[in-house]
Structure 1
Amino acid sequence: MNKKKIRGVAFFFGISLAGLVFAQAYPSKPISLVVPQTAGGTNDIVARLMAPAFGEAIGSSVIVENKPGAGGNIGTQGVARAPKDGYTLLLTINSAQAINPALYKNPGFDPINDFIPVYYIGATPYVLVSPPGSPYKTLAEVVAAAKRKPGELSYASAGNGTISHLLGAMLNTSAGIDMQHIPYKGVAPAINDVLGGQVPLAFASLPSALNYIKAGKLQAIAISSAKRSSAAPEIPTIAETYPDCVGEVWVALFAPIGTPAAVVKKIQSAMDKVMASPEVREKLAAQGLDLSPVTPSRLVTLLKDELAKWVKIVKASGAQLD
């Protein structure tokens, strides 16, 4: 087949000849998997669990890079401005992609127009935790204490405007209480201060807290999903008492807009192999992730739905960052 015919076939499938040739050579160097949050959070845990399998499937080394700052804006901006060649990818969570545009006047990126949704990985709830020996073992005890002393009971979160912050605001509204929010720069320092007794409560993603819970270092009070988690079915949901208090974190892979379609397809094919691996699925499920499949087109709809949902919650909470 001559070049003219190849070009015609390539454009018929929406792929330029240059992009097709580039994709044939891709990948020829290491791939950077940017996590726009600190180590120890949900997407960091997911990235490090799946990176070796992703590298093997796609035929290159995969380097996980934590680039935190401004609630995830710094790392997300960096990927949006990176070369559109498939060598810089974003593994992020919905709080950065769906909440930050409502929380920040100028987050520095457009979650819809700056990124290609490449692959949805899974979702997991948050869990309200307290240290061992705490009098707060159940949600009823937390609410009762907060009602006895309005404004005195506090909870830690991974930062202003994160889902862990807004879940506390939602619980305040649902239960008619006034817990005080204490923001941290990431989930790990928040958990550390709960472990040390400096803060009585925290909302943390289930993957970031589960090992502490299983080791008896944290008490699990309730989780934020609509139904109980298969990874920890003994933990009740907040929704069992307050049905409107539901929020989960999902993890997905994005590429900068303009990345060649053939390269995106290669990444998706590699991720299909990763997510078909029983070993990888077992490790992710053990962290509390629901691995129900979501197509890239459905991921766009999910992101738009989340943007609409969280802008209302952010507005009601009064949270706003410059």
Structure 2
Amino acid sequence: MPLATRRTVLSAAAALTASAARAQERYPSRPVQIIVPWAPGGSTDILARTLAEPLRLSLGQPVLVENRSGASGNIGSLAVARAAPDGHTLLFGSMSTHAMNEALLKEMPFHGANDFSPIALLAYVLNTVVIHPSVPANTMAEFVAYCRANPGKVAYASAGAGSTNHICAAMLARMAGIEMVHVPYRGGAPAVLDTVSGQTQMLVSAGTQTLEHVRAGRLRLLAVTEGRRSTLLPDVPTVAETIPGYEMAVWYGAMGPRGMALDLVTRLNGEINRALALPAVRDRMSAIGVEVANMSAAEFAAVLRDDAQKWPGVIRDIGITPADA
């Protein structure tokens, strides 16, 4: 290559690199949109709105939260999957949408792990096993023994066939070798209310829905479903302490469209983790049973990938099919 031509090529390459760097430095160049694929008022929505202000301050642009609910979280998630991978459209999604829907819905418009750029694991939702006080059990071991002695007598509520609390309870029954009756409802609120009233006797659900009733004595807390005891309830055992191998850790994560630049993902990961570490944010989330996390983007990507591989098989093994859901 002639010397003059080589210099021209190198100069052009340097200019492109500098231009890309300047564009990256200017991020964000307009408001950042966080899409929550669920209705307003849920814990994912609360988390997004709690983080919006500290992120606005650190990013220097408005951070707008938009709820796009429907299709088990797929409508909002698909909108992000189709967005430009420039960091201006983000998703605050959940394990159910990205690791479970594939096995629960007959058609999926995206792949939960492959069609997104994992940015940060946001939080774990405290997930509780509760029973009506009329059930003669104070521990998970006593509850399992009671169910074995009374097959089919205990009915468990859920927010609907294929919901996370359905999967939790069905998996518990299968691993413990007990028989319970599933009573699906149209949403979590009626499932909780009927368990409180004694129409159903057992429920596995987020602490945001159950702990108020536990404190009032209307429900009895037996265990949490995570693989380790929660820092929010350190004296409450895990299900796995009675049923080895049982684990359901429900997480929320920040994601962008597939193809986001690594330096942009890294920057957003740092900004989000700094916001999550703020005492006001931690206290706000702890009050509703949500334990904030701190992971690199690579660590979150591994969690997402592992769960997307794990849960479809588990769901099939416990007999929940897309037709049921």
Structure 1 residue 61, shift from structure 2 partner: 3.4
Instruction: Work out the CA distance in 2 between the residues paired with 1:268 and 1:3.
Output: 32
Instruction: Work out the CA distance in 2 between the residues paired with 1:256 and 1:62.
Output: 17
RMSD, aligned α-carbons: 2.9
2:147 aligns with 146
Whether the aligned pair in 2 keeps the contact of 1:128 and 1:202 (CA below 8 Å) is yes
Kindly tell me: are residues 136 and 224 of structure 1, through their superposed partners in 2, closer, same or farther at Cα, counting changes over 3 Å? same
Unpaired runs of at least 5, structure 1: 11-15
Per mean C-alpha deviation after superposition, the further-off stretch among 66-75 and 261-270 is 261-270
1:21 aligns with 23
Whether the aligned pair in 1 keeps the contact of 2:68 and 2:76 (CA below 8 Å) is yes
2:4 aligns with none
Q: Does 1:320 align with 2:321?
A: yes
The 5 A counterparts of 1:253-264 are 253-259=254-260, 263-264=264-265
Instruction: Work out the CA distance in 2 between the residues paired with 1:204 and 1:59.
Output: 38
* Partner SS state of residue 122, structure 2: strand
* Partner SS state of residue 235, structure 1: coil
Identity of aligned residues (%): 33
* Partner SS state of residue 270, structure 1: helix
Q: Which amino acid aligns with 2:14?
A: K
Structure 1 residue 87, shift from structure 2 partner: 3.5
Instruction: Work out the CA distance in 2 between the residues paired with 1:23 and 1:189.
Output: 49
1:91 aligns with 92
2:5 aligns with none
1:7 aligns with 16
Instruction: Work out the CA distance in 2 between the residues paired with 1:40 and 1:158.
Output: 16
* Partner SS state of residue 268, structure 1: helix
Kindly tell me: are residues 289 and 177 of structure 1, through their superposed partners in 2, closer, same or farther at Cα, counting changes over 3 Å? same
1:275 aligns with 276
1:300 aligns with 301
Whether the aligned pair in 1 keeps the contact of 2:276 and 2:293 (CA below 8 Å) is no
Structure 1 residue 295, shift from structure 2 partner: 1.3
Instruction: Work out the CA distance in 1 between the residues paired with 2:50 and 2:218.
Output: 23
1:13 aligns with none
Q: How many residues are treated as equivalent by the alignment? A: 313
Per mean C-alpha deviation after superposition, the further-off stretch among 152-161 and 219-228 is 152-161
* Partner SS state of residue 246, structure 1: coil
Q: Which amino acid aligns with 1:167?
A: C
2:73 aligns with 72
Structure 1 residue 254, shift from structure 2 partner: 0.5
TM-score (norm 1): 0.83
Structure 1 residue 209, shift from structure 2 partner: 3.0
Structure 1 residue 263, shift from structure 2 partner: 4.9
Structure 1 residue 189, shift from structure 2 partner: 3.8
Kindly tell me: are residues 9 and 99 of structure 1, through their superposed partners in 2, closer, same or farther at Cα, counting changes over 3 Å? same
Kindly tell me: are residues 33 and 137 of structure 1, through their superposed partners in 2, closer, same or farther at Cα, counting changes over 3 Å? farther
Kindly tell me: are residues 253 and 145 of structure 1, through their superposed partners in 2, closer, same or farther at Cα, counting changes over 3 Å? same
Q: Which amino acid aligns with 2:163?
A: T
Unpaired runs of at least 5, structure 2: 1-10
Q: Which amino acid aligns with 1:307?
A: A
Instruction: Work out the CA distance in 1 between the residues paired with 2:258 and 2:322.
Output: 26
Whether the aligned pair in 2 keeps the contact of 1:115 and 1:257 (CA below 8 Å) is yes
1:118 aligns with 119
TM-score (norm 2): 0.82
Q: Which amino acid aligns with 2:229?
A: R
Whether the aligned pair in 2 keeps the contact of 1:158 and 1:165 (CA below 8 Å) is yes
Instruction: Work out the CA distance in 2 between the residues paired with 1:264 and 1:228.
Output: 31
2:105 aligns with 104
Instruction: Work out the CA distance in 2 between the residues paired with 1:181 and 1:207.
Output: 22
2:242 aligns with 241
The 5 A counterparts of 1:185-200 are 185-200=186-201
Instruction: Work out the CA distance in 1 between the residues paired with 2:245 and 2:25.
Output: 46
2:57 aligns with 56
Whether the aligned pair in 1 keeps the contact of 2:37 and 2:73 (CA below 8 Å) is yes
Instruction: Work out the CA distance in 1 between the residues paired with 2:190 and 2:41.
Output: 9
Instruction: Work out the CA distance in 2 between the residues paired with 1:72 and 1:159.
Output: 14
Kindly tell me: are residues 23 and 234 of structure 1, through their superposed partners in 2, closer, same or farther at Cα, counting changes over 3 Å? same
Structure 1 residue 172, shift from structure 2 partner: 0.9
Kindly tell me: are residues 24 and 37 of structure 1, through their superposed partners in 2, closer, same or farther at Cα, counting changes over 3 Å? same
Per mean C-alpha deviation after superposition, the further-off stretch among 120-129 and 262-271 is 262-271
Structure 1 residue 183, shift from structure 2 partner: 3.2
Instruction: Work out the CA distance in 1 between the residues paired with 2:310 and 2:180.
Output: 22
